[in-house]
């Protein structure tokens, strides 16, 4: 029997593929794993393999960083070789990163069916590289697994045939619920001397926030102006953001001047980061996935973006879109306990999304 090829490449992919792999192993559905190597630092990749018990990939493409064209093309060239060697029934990709697009495009050109997990999310902002990746991946996909009804609506609006769309729920939440016991055992609060609800968690890595030093400078300036002196901002720093700061002397000076307010650490593993998020007073972020986790933990999520592809986190969750200039009013409302609460956990965010996906794929694989 042919095998399903599962692709992962960067941090936000690992918590999405882990439950699918676990379920495929449980039911005995044959698969092989390809790691493109888009992220390669220990704390951006390896740590998730060990914490989330992801097996050693059959192929490590080791593509690393590069411009969009270089990275996407390198993944395509390397992945095509894999698909030429293997008997592959279907390629499963997750999320919206360059690896997602590169591998779905390569498979579709070889007439191998593509399944996209987290299909149909749209920010309607084509200046985001992820939006292009989402639209193009969905357009070459044969199985579009969605995590919310709004994603189905987006796909139907774009003319995707209804029979290709499967509302299965959220695989990231599968990981969160499955690993809750380890998350609760994390010692990160005591090792970092942090007290529950007495710190803010910060993650910023979107090019629109961090690539232009003036924009990043202004974000930090507003943040420092409005956060109280005795309050810790805890910032596990993404390598893209770290590189930008290291290249800019004025940013470093500003950060040194306010070093008592902000604490930078290396990117964190899954358990420690989840524990910090769950116990934070708020999270200031531009992440995609963190919005969903903040909803689950009912933690205020100030999203430093003009739009989100995850509107469900605004309508049912704790996410508000904000700009740096509004940080004063945002922080006041958080400190006053006036932030909105999670209305309800979205339908099918129940820890069983991977089960639904694998059941559907099992029927497909049997036909090959
Ligand atoms: C990528 C995804 C983005 C996702 C983010 C999650 C694309 C277009 N972007 O953005 O959607 O939200 O991952 O974290 O796919 N770097 C390292 N070590 C690493 C990885 C990256 O130092 O292990 C540095 C390199 O200088 C690299 C830069 O970070 O050039 C950006 O990495 P890249 O994978 O191109 O994009 P991200 O910003 O990480
Ligand atoms: N995350 C993590 N450690 C960190 C920062 C984030 O484990 O230091 C997790 C986070 O909880 C979520 C995922 O990484 O599960 C989101 O990845 P990221 O924000 O890099 O990507 P995005 O979702 O924006 O594409």
Whichever domain contains 229, its CATH number is: 3.40.50.2000
Q: Given pLDDT bands bounded at 50, 70 and 90, which one contains residue 291?
A: very high
Residue 92 in contact with residue 115, Cβ under 8 Å? yes
Q: Output the six-digit token pair for 78.
A: 């390397």
CA-CA distance, 285 to 301, in Å (whole number)?
7
- Cα of 128 vs centre of ligand 1, distance in Å, is 13
- Cα of 308 vs centre of ligand 1, distance in Å, is 19
Digit-coded pLDDT (tens) for 304-354: 999 999 999 999 999 999 999 999 999 999 999 999 999 999 999 999 999
Our answer on whether the CB atom of 289 is closer than 6 Å to any ligand 2 atom is yes
Cβ-based burial of 26 (10 A; exposed 0-12, middle 13-18, buried ≥19): exposed
Our answer on whether the CB atom of 134 is closer than 6 Å to any ligand 1 atom is no
Name the closest-CA residue to atom 35, ligand 1: 65
In a domain, 218, yes or no: yes
Q: What is the pLDDT of residue 361?
A: 96
Q: Given pLDDT bands bounded at 50, 70 and 90, which one contains residue 364?
A: confident
Residues 13 and 160 grouped into a single domain: yes
- The answer, yes or no, to whether residue 368 has pLDDT greater than 70, is no
In a domain, 144, yes or no: yes
Q: Output the six-digit token pair for 210.
A: 């961090």
Residues 187 and 160 grouped into a single domain: no
Q: Interior CA angle at 355 toward 132 and 175, to 5°?
A: 65
Q: How far apart are the first and last CA of the chain?
A: 7
Task: State the average pLDDT over residues 239-250.
Answer: 97
Q: Given pLDDT bands bounded at 50, 70 and 90, which one contains residue 230?
A: confident
Residues 233 and 298 grouped into a single domain: yes
Residue 281 in contact with residue 262, Cβ under 8 Å? no
Name the closest-CA residue to atom 7, ligand 1: 97
Ligand in closest contact with the CA of 9: 1
In a domain, 137, yes or no: yes
- Of the chain, the percentage scoring pLDDT greater than 70 comes to 99
Q: Could you give phi then psi for residue 92, rounded to 5 degrees?
A: -105, 120
Q: What is the pLDDT of residue 333?
A: 96
Ligand 2 pocket: which of 9, 17, 147, 203 to mutate (most atoms within 8 A of CB)? 203
Residues 105 and 74 grouped into a single domain: yes
Residue 164 in contact with residue 133, Cβ under 8 Å? no
Task: State the average pLDDT over residues 164-181.
Answer: 98
User: Which three-class secondary structure state does DSSP give residue 113?
Assistant: coil
- The answer, yes or no, to whether residue 117 has pLDDT greater than 90, is yes
CA-CA distance, 241 to 247, in Å (whole number)?
10
Biggest CA-to-CA distance, the chain: 63
Residues 21 and 159 grouped into a single domain: yes
Q: Output the six-digit token pair for 156.
A: 């139907």
**Helix (H), strand (E), coil (C) string for 231-271:** CEEEEECCHHHHHHHHCCHHHHHHHHHCCCCEEEECCCCHH
CA-CA distance, 76 to 182, in Å (whole number)?
36
Residue 203 in contact with residue 285, Cβ under 8 Å? yes
Q: Output the six-digit token pair for 324.
A: 């740096």
In a domain, 54, yes or no: yes
Q: What is the pLDDT of residue 347?
A: 98
Residues 99 and 205 grouped into a single domain: no
Residues 160 and 283 grouped into a single domain: no
Report the domain count for the chain: 2
Residues 11 and 149 grouped into a single domain: yes
Task: State the average pLDDT over residues 153-166.
Answer: 98
- The answer, yes or no, to whether residue 257 has pLDDT greater than 80, is yes
Q: Given pLDDT bands bounded at 50, 70 and 90, which one contains residue 1?
A: confident
In a domain, 239, yes or no: yes
- The answer, yes or no, to whether residue 41 has pLDDT greater than 70, is yes
Q: What is the pLDDT of residue 82?
A: 98
Digit-coded pLDDT (tens) for 128-139: 999 999 999 999
Residues 201 and 164 grouped into a single domain: no
Q: What is the pLDDT of residue 186?
A: 98
Domain around 318: 181-335
Residues 295 and 186 grouped into a single domain: yes
- Cα of 233 vs centre of ligand 2, distance in Å, is 17
Q: Which residue in 91, 66, 70 sits closest to 79, CA to CA?
A: 91
Task: State the average pLDDT over residues 249-267.
Answer: 97
Q: Interior CA angle at 63 toward 57 and 64, to 5°?
A: 105
- The answer, yes or no, to whether residue 143 has pLDDT greater than 90, is yes
In a domain, 282, yes or no: yes
Digit-coded pLDDT (tens) for 56-85: 999 999 999 999 999 999 999 999 999 999
In a domain, 291, yes or no: yes
Residues 150 and 185 grouped into a single domain: no
Distances (CA, A) of 365 to 7, 90, 142, 358: 17, 8, 13, 10
CA-CA distance, 207 to 32, in Å (whole number)?
32
């Amino acid at each position: 029997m042919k095998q399903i090829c599962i692709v992962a490449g960067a941090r936000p992919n690992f918590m999405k593929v882990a439950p699918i792999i676990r379920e495929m192993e449980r039911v005995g559905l044959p698969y092989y794993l390809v790691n493109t190597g888009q992220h390669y630092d220990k704390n951006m990749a390896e740590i998730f393999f060990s914490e989330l018990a992801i097996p050693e990939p059959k192929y490590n493409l080791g593509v690393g960083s590069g411009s969009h064209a270089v990275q996407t093309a390198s993944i395509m060239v390397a992945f095509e070789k894999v698909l030429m060697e293997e008997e592959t029934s279907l390629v499963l990709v997750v999320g919206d990163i360059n690896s997602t697009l590169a591998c779905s495009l390569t498979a579709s050109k070889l007439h191998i069916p593509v399944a996209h997990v987290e299909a149909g999310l749209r920010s309607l902002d084509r200046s985001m590289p992820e939006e292009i990746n989402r639209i193009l991946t969905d357009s070459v996909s044969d199985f579009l697994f969605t995590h919310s009804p709004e994603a189905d609506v987006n796909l139907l609006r774009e003319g995707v045939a209804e029979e290709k769309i499967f509302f299965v729920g959220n695989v990231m939440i599968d990981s969160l619920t499955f690993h809750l016991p380890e998350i609760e055992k994390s010692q990160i609060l005591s090792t970092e001397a942090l007290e529950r609800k007495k710190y803010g968690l910060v993650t910023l890595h979107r090019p629109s926030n961090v690539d232009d030093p003036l924009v990043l400078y202004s974000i930090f300036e507003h943040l420092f102006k409005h956060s109280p002196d005795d309050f810790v901002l805890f910032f596990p720093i993404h390598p893209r953001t770290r590189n930008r700061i290291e290249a800019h002397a004025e940013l470093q000076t500003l950060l040194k001047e306010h070093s008592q307010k902000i604490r930078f650490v290396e990117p964190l593993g899954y358990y420690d980061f989840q524990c910090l998020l769950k116990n934070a007073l708020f999270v200031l972020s531009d992440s995609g996935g963190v919005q969903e986790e903040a909803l689950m933990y009912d933690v205020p999520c100030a999203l430093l973006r003009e739009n989100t592809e995850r509107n469900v986190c605004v309508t049912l969750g704790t996410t508000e879109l904000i700009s740096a200039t509004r940080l004063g009013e945002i922080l006041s409302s958080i400190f006053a306990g006036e932030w909105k609460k999670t209305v309800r956990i979205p339908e099918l965010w129940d820890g069983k999304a991977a089960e639904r996906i694998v059941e559907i794929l099992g029927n497909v694989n049997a036909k090959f």
